[in-house]
Structure 1
Amino acid sequence: MKTLKKVWDLFEEISAGTFFFGGITLIFYGVFMRYVFNEPKAWVEEVVRYVIIWGVFLGFALALRHNQHIQVDMLYDKLSARMKKVLDIFATSVSIAFCVAYTYYGIVLVASRYHSGMVSLDVGIPMWIIYLILPISGTLFLLRFIERLVQLIRGKDVKYDNPIT
């Protein structure tokens, strides 16, 4: 089980990092072509947009794993330990419901774009491929929230003290 978790963690890190690195590399290429060779490439902006979006959406689950999502905890810090646990379980359960809906409607959108035959303007990438990140990221995010709920129910602390250094 620990091996599967390590593979899963590594997949999230490598996939999000690869898309971000690819996006930054393409931005550099676009700037280089525009200002050094004076030959801007129109397709670069469109591809960069999609690649960065994929990187961000793949990073959602990674941020949850490290507890790096934005949260307001002024009132939360004043609660008792028991109430904190109840609130954590409630919030995680609502998040799981959101992820289920998000993933489902992502699948519906992908199917809709697949059947419509829509393609992007400059490059001609089928739009269903672009929208495929919705069910993929929703599933990864859902799995992280389920993992979090299991940890909460088992009584393990899911709050991390800034694990990224």
Structure 2
Amino acid sequence: MKGLKKAWDLLEDILAGSFLSVGIALIFYGVIMRYVFNEPKAWVEEVVNYTIVWGALLGVPIALRGNHHIQVDMLYDKLPPAGKRLLDIFSSAMGVLFCIFFTYYGYLLVAKRYTSGMVSMDVGIPMWLVYLILPISGVMFLLRFIERLVQSLMRNSDVVSGKEEQNDTHFV
């Protein structure tokens, strides 16, 4: 199981990093073409927007994995351990629900764009491919929230049984 988790972590890192790297490289290419060769390329900005958005949405589960997302923990820090665990469970469950809705409505958007045949303005990329990141990132984000929920539930059972461990990592 740990090998599968490491492979999944690596896949997330490679995908997000690749899209962001390609986006940055294309920005550099666009600047060079515009200001050095005085031949701006119209397609660059459109493709950069898509690759940066894909990279960012693929990076959201990575931020959740490493607990590097924005959090307000003034109240959380004042709670007793059992209260912290309950809040972790609640926030993870809300995250799971959000991801289910996000994925579902992302899928609906992809389906509508697929049937409409809409393409991008400059490059002609089918828009359903552009929007495909929504259900993909939603599923990846959902898997991370499920992982957090399971971890929260496991910690909660330790608190109830009196086997609480001291851990500064929290999920809220």
Mapping 1:30-109, distance limit 5 Å: 30-109=30-109
| CA apart distance, 1:23 | 0.3
Q: 2:169: which partner in 1?
A: 159
SS in 1 for 2:74: coil
Encode CA deviations 1:4-44: one digit per residue, 9 max, x unaligned: 11110000000000001000000000000001100000000
Cα RMSD between the aligned structures? 1.2
Corresponding position of 1:133: 133
Instruction: Output the TM-score relative to the length of structure 2.
Output: 0.91
How far residue 158 of structure 1 moved from its aligned partner, in angstroms, is 8.3
**Structure 2 stretches of 5 or more lacking a match?**
156-164
Letter matched to residue 58 of structure 2 = L
1:105-124 pair list within 5 angstroms? 105-124=105-124
2:27 maps to which residue? 27
Question: In structure 2, what is the Cα distance between the partners aligned to 1:89 and 1:154?
Answer: 10
Q: Which letter does structure 1 place at the counterpart of 2:132?
A: L
The one-letter amino acid paired with 2:145 is F
Q: How many residues align?
A: 160
Instruction: Tell me the distance in 2 between the aligned counterparts of 1:125 and 1:55.
Output: 17
Q: Answer whether contact 1:102 1:135 (CA < 8 A) is retained.
A: yes
CA shift at 1:159, angstroms? 1.9
- Given that 1:19 and 1:54 are in contact with CA atoms closer than 8 Å, whether structure 2 keeps it comes out as yes
Aligned counterparts of 2:72 and 2:137: Cα–Cα separation in 1: 24
Gaps of 5+ in 1: 161-165
Summarize deviations over 1:81-132 as a string: whole Å, max 9, x none: 1001001101110110010010001111000000000000000000000000
2:168 and 2:8 map into 1 onto residues whose CA distance is: 18
Note the C-alpha offset of 1:3. Answer: 1.2
Distance (whole Å) between structure 1 residues aligned to residue 169 and residue 66 of structure 2 = 8
Aligned mates of 1:56, 1:151 — CA distance in 2: 25
Secondary structure of 1:11's counterpart equals helix
Whole-angstrom CA distance in 2 between matches of 1:43 and 1:140? 29
The structure that has the greater radius of gyration is 2
Is residue 148–residue 158 contact of structure 1 (8 Å, CA) maintained in 2?
no
Q: Distance in 1 between the 2:72 and 2:153 partners? A: 23
Structure 2 Cα separation of the partners of residues 23 and 131 of structure 1: 17
Aligned AA (2:114) = Y
